[in-house]
Structures are given as C-alpha cells and as structure tokens.
A and B are shown apart, each in its own frame.
Chain A
C-alpha cells in the first residue's frame, strides 16, 4: 500500500520537475536573446522549482524504499530535510514569480526551520515503535511534506499568481493565457489539498494529481510557444 503511494508521489514530482526544467530552459533561451532581467527571474524561479521537485522526488523515493535498512532517526531527519528543502525551493520559486508580477518588494522566503523540529520529534516514537514497512500513509505525508504553515505561505503566493494569471486571461481571452491561468489555479488547489492532507491523507494523492494537471497544462503552453 505504502509502496505505490511513495512511487506515485515520487514519479509525479519527477515529471513535474522535468516540465519546470523545460520552462527554465525556454526562459534562458529568451534571456540570451533579449538580455532582460525578467527572463533571468523566470529562469531562476523555474530552475529552483525544477531542482526542488526533482531532488525531492528522486531522493524521497530512494530513502523511503530503503527505509527498512535505515535507522529511524536517520530516516526521519533525511526525509524532513528533503521536505524542508522542497518547501523552501517552492516558496522561493513562487515568490520570485510573484515578484516578477509586482516588480517591487523582495521575494518571500519560507524559512520556518524552527517549527519543523517539533513534528519531527513527535514522529520519532511512532516510527521507533512500529516497523517502517507498516507505516501509515498519514505518517508518510507528515514526512514528505514539511509543515502546514509553510504550505499555507506557498498557498498565499500561489493564490496571488492565480489571480494575476486569471486577470490576464480575462483581458487576453486566448488559449495560452487560459492554460497558464488554469495551471496556477490548479497549483493553488493542489496546495489547499497538500495543507489538508496533514489531517486527511487521501487528499495527498488528489493534490499530486492536481499538481500534475497544472504542470501538464504548462507543458502544453511551452509546446505551443515553441511550435508557434
């Protein structure tokens, strides 16, 4: 049961990471053409997002599959560190995107390091008491996602980005702006599910499916732009 849960989560994150890297490549290509800082911001944003998703997807999958051979403390700390890394990458990447829209103020970073320690320690006895191969899905969600508060911060940034891209679609009324607004709307919806998944585990899968749809929508935009 846990096996497919982990594999699905990791596989989807890798796919999403690859789409983010493709966006990053396109932004770099346009930066080399125009030398505009906006493209540099887009490149940096999608590079960090892509790396965060790829590293988390691959490393969390490997760590969780190797769980029986790891000490519980090593296992928990590794997963929590990976979750923190992903959350910081997402907060930074989406924050930088939001900055690109506003063009003022600094990107908001999600450095909630202190708050992640308590849930980690609370999970320790649970893991120590039960073999890792019989972990519940709710424990896995608590390990692969950092903290609901940090997820909430990312949600706020995504809600802003969804608002901006929907506004753009309403003024442009074209396919590509629609797909981008759809993408950010689904990313925000996915984030709501990630926040709620801490108490309702099944929403973790829903969140990943929504996030995948968002990235696939972005992929369609990229292909349309490249083939234009």
Chain B
C-alpha cells in the first residue's frame, strides 16, 4: 500500500509474488528469474517452490538442461483471487 512501510511480507504475499513473476514471464520461469523477481534468498525460494509444487500451484518442467517452473490453472486462480483481495483492500485504504 502506498504511503505505508511494509514491515514483512506475508506467506501469501510471497507466493503471489512468485506466481506474478512466473505469469509475467509468459507462464514459465527459471529459478534465477524467480529469485530476483520475488526478492528471495535461494534457500527460501526453493522452500516456497517445493510447497507450491506440492499444492499444485506450479509444476516443475525440464527443458533441455534447464529447470523451469510453470504456473498451473490453480496457481492462476489463486493469483486472480489475491489481486481481487488487494483491490478490495486498496479501495478501503487498508493493508496487510
């Protein structure tokens, strides 16, 4: 939220940031791009990606010798819901 310093990012916010990066890369992104885009350490990112894969939000695919993470339909749905939630909070001038 503008004008307010965020002290921490919630788990949902981090997951949404990862999904946004993957989505903006055309639906699939490599770990390095996700790491920079979502502003996470490598260890945290891998932990989040493993959890997101387990929950069906992303899927890991091997393209040649590269590992990519693809956003799934479930991931897209979650991202849409998060955007609605953020728009709702922005309308009221509230932030989490």
Residues of A within 8 A of B (CB): 26, 29-30, 33-36, 38, 42, 100-101, 164-165, 167-169, 171-172, 174, 176-177, 179-180, 221, 224-226, 228
Which A residues lie within 8 Å of B3 (CB)? 171
| Complex Cα gap A167–B4 (Å) | 13
Stretch from B23-31, B38-46, B81-89 forming part of the interface with A: B81-89
| Complex Cα gap A29–B82 (Å) | 11
0/1 interface trace, chain B 64-96, chain A, CB 8 Å (1 if under): 000000000000001001111101111111101
Majority secondary structure of chain A interface residues (helix, strand, loop or mixed)? helix
Cβ of B2 < 8 Å from any Cβ of A? yes
Known contacts A172-B2, A224-B87, A225-B84; 12 additional CB pairs below 8 A are A30-B84, A33-B81, A33-B82, A34-B85, A36-B96, A38-B94, A168-B93, A172-B90, A177-B90, A177-B93, A180-B92, A225-B91
Interface residues on B, range: 10 to 19
Contact B93 A180 (CB under 8 A): yes
Interface centre among B12, B81, B84, by most chain A C-beta atoms within 10 angstroms, is: B84
Query: Which 10 interchain pairs have the tightest Cβ spacing?
Result: A168-B93, A176-B91, A30-B85, A36-B96, A225-B88, A180-B91, A34-B12, A225-B87, A228-B87, A221-B91
Contact B2 A171 (CB under 8 A): yes
Which A residues lie within 8 Å of B87 (CB)? 176, 224-225, 228
Contact A101 B94 (CB under 8 A): yes
Which A residues lie within 8 Å of B94 (CB)? 38, 42, 100-101
